[in-house]
Amino acid sequence: QVQLVESGGGSVQPGGSLRLSCAASGSFFRHLAMGWYRQAPGKQRELVAGITSGEGSNYADSVKGRFTISRDNAKNTVYLQMNSLKPEDTAVYYCSATYALNIATATNKYWGQGTQITVSS
C-alpha cells in the first residue's frame, strides 16, 4: 500500500506563496506518477498539477505560470510550489499517486488526507 502525507498548508494573503510537500512511504517512489488535486466546497475535485516517473509535468490552465510541481526521489517526496496565490485557489489540496504512466488518465489512484489552503485578505 502507498501511504501519502501532505504538509505545508495554511493561510496566506493574495499574491503570497506557499509550498506543499507530500511524503510517500510503502512504495517504489521512482515508479510512481504523482499529482496534486484540489477541491473547493461544492465543487468537483480537479487535477492542478501532475508529474510522471520520467518527470514530465502538466498543469491546469488556471495555475500555469504560478504553480510548479517537482519531485525528489531520494526523499520520496513531491512538492507543489504555489506563487501569486489568488482567492480562487482556496481549497483542500490532495496528493495522489499511481503506478500508471500518467496521473491524469489513471483509473486507480492512492490519496493523501488533504491539506487546507486559504487565500484571503
pLDDT tens digits for 3-57? 999 999 999 999 999 999 999 998 899 999 999 999 999 999 999 999 999 989 9
Does residue 66 have a pLDDT over 90?
A: yes
Gyration radius (Cα) of the chain, Å: 13
Q: How far apart are CA 55 and CA 120, in angstroms?
A: 32
- Residue 18's contacts (CB-CB under 8 Å, 6 or more residues apart) are 8, 9, 10, 12, 82, 85, 117
**Angstrom distance (rounded) from CA 120 to CA 87:** 6
Band (1; pLDDT cuts 50, 70, 90)? confident
What is the reported pLDDT for 11? 98
